[in-house]
């Protein structure tokens, strides 16, 4: 995700902003782990879960376990509001491979996961399994490959192309997230900057770069001043963005085009330097124009897959929608 070597894209991991899958554990979940069993279990009621909401559960999965469609079971019904797709939710979870009963990831041993419940950011089965459940609920979800990681699986987590995923999720909070920047328009006085026109309906930006030479130092120009929380180093932020190349103005990446905001850790070297420097200290609701020279972007190597040369300057318009952590 907009790392020093790749463009900002939400990949196959469950939660882009959390440690899901990347911090996989090989410890047993308490299931039999006997993938050689001749009988495949398909009934979600055969999965046994014990423990209280907020505490790491013990999960007994009869293996091999398989699901043909995403199915959920409310183990404990919370008294909060219903979760809606597009909200930022905070959860604790444990993920178990239905093929062998082994835990491949959990947040209970580290930090509560916070992310936008959107199919562009998390696997489809997670959205299906949590949407409509109430805050304070413990939910059991079984997810087939089609709604999970697909036929590629996740080899580093020991998830094969035909493996069903089993999750137990504690929904701790849910909150609405901005759809676009919202605040007071900022008058731009600096000359020679790219111009930005917003779609009247969606707010998606169209960026036009000047014909002259690009600046040689980082430019951070607020276009809209939001009144939300201040972005701090190490937090996870959710944004909409469009990036173009100067010279030429060619769009090389856009979350608007994917119809899915992006979430990532800021100020921690996880994104290009121009983003870390330009977005920390700004407020939720703001729209920021970033003009990023090569040494604050992808360097002399550029990014060939995106058509970015080592001498190209990058221009981004970023709407800061949310921050957590």
8-44 tens-digit pLDDT? 322 322 333 232 332 343 333 444 344 444 699 999 9
Contact 47, 94 (CB under 8 A): no
Residue 113's pLDDT is what? 86
Establish if 253 belongs to a structural domain: yes
Average pLDDT over residues 157-173: 96
Contact 81, 134 (CB under 8 A): yes
Q: How many domains does the chain have?
A: 2
Domain match, 234 and 276 both:
yes
Domain match, 136 and 200 both:
no
Domain match, 74 and 129 both:
yes
Q: Is residue 276's pLDDT more than 80?
A: yes
Domain match, 171 and 194 both:
no
Computed over every residue of the chain, the mean pLDDT equals 88
Q: Is residue 3's pLDDT more than 60?
A: no
Domain match, 163 and 242 both:
no
CATH code assigned at 163: 3.10.50.40
Residue 22's pLDDT is what? 29
Domain match, 134 and 263 both:
no
Rounded distance between C-alpha atoms, residue 281 and residue 15, angstroms: 24
Q: Is 128 helix (H, G, I), strand (E, B) or coil?
A: helix
Domain match, 162 and 189 both:
no
Domain match, 317 and 200 both:
yes
Domain boundary among 175, 208, 227: 175
Residue 322's pLDDT is what? 92
Average pLDDT over residues 56-83: 97
In DSSP terms, 237 is beta-bridged to 264, 323
Rounded distance between C-alpha atoms, residue 247 and residue 15, angstroms: 34
Instruction: Name the more confident of 25 and 184.
Output: 184
Q: Which CA distances in Å does 137 have to 50, 64, 170, 222, 322?
A: 14, 27, 6, 40, 23
Domain match, 192 and 320 both:
yes
Domain match, 225 and 121 both:
no
Q: How many CA atoms lie within 13 A of 292 on its CB side?
A: 30
Instruction: Give the phi and the psi of residue 37 in degrees, each rounded to 5.
Output: -55, 145
Residue 324 pLDDT class (50, 70, 90 cuts): confident
In DSSP terms, 139 is beta-bridged to 74, 169
Establish if 276 belongs to a structural domain: yes
Residue 58 pLDDT class (50, 70, 90 cuts): very high
Rounded distance between C-alpha atoms, residue 309 and residue 325, angstroms: 35
DSSP letter for each residue of 243-267: EEEETT--EEEEHHHHTS-EEEE-S
Establish if 107 belongs to a structural domain: yes
What range does the domain containing 302 cover?
A: 183-324
Establish if 22 belongs to a structural domain: no
Domain match, 144 and 222 both:
no
Domain match, 139 and 187 both:
no
Instruction: Give the phi and the psi of residue 162 in degrees, each rounded to 5.
Output: -115, 10
Identify the sign of the CA torsion 29, 131, 127, 54.
Answer: negative
Whether this model's pTM surpasses 0.75: no
Rounded distance between C-alpha atoms, residue 292 and residue 111, angstroms: 33
Establish if 18 belongs to a structural domain: no
Give the lowest-confidence range in 58-62, 153-157, 259-263, 295-299: 259-263
């Amino acid at each position: 995700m907009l790392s020093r070597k790749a463009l900002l894209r939400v990949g196959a991991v469950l939660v882009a902003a959390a440690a899901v899958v990347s911090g996989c554990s090989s410890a047993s979940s308490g299931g039999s782990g006997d993938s050689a069993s001749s009988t495949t279990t398909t009934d979600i009621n055969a999965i046994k879960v014990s423990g209280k909401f907020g505490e790491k559960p013990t999960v007994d999965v009869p293996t091999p376990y398989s699901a043909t469609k995403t199915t959920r079971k409310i183990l404990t019904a919370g008294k909060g509001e219903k979760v809606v797709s597009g909200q930022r939710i905070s959860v604790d979870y444990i993920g178990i491979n239905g093929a062998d009963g082994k835990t491949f990831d959990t947040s209970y041993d580290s930090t509560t996961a916070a992310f936008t419940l959107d199919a562009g950011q998390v696997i489809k089965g997670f959205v299906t399994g949590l949407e409509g459940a109430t805050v304070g609920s413990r939910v059991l979800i079984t997810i087939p490959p089609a709604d999970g990681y697909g036929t590629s699986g996740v080899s580093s987590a020991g998830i094969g192309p035909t493996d069903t995923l089993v999750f137990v999720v504690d929904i701790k909070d849910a909150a609405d997230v901005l759809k676009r920047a919202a605040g007071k328009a900022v008058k731009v006085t600096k000359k020679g900057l790219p111009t930005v026109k917003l779609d009247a309906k969606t707010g998606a930006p169209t960026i036009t770069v000047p014909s002259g030479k690009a600046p040689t130092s980082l430019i951070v120009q607020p276009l809209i001043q939001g009144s939300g929380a201040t972005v701090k180093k190490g937090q996870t932020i959710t944004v909409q963005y469009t990036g173009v190349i100067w010279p030429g103005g060619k769009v090389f990446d856009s979350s608007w085009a994917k119809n899915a905001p992006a979430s990532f850790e800021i100020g921690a070297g996880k994104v290009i330097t121009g983003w870390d420097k330009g977005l920390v200290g700004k407020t939720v609701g703001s729209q920021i124009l970033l003009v990023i020279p090569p040494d604050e972007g992808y360097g002399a190597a550029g990014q060939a897959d995106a058509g970015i040369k080592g001498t190209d300057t990058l221009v981004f318009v970023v709407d800061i929608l949310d921050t957590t952590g």
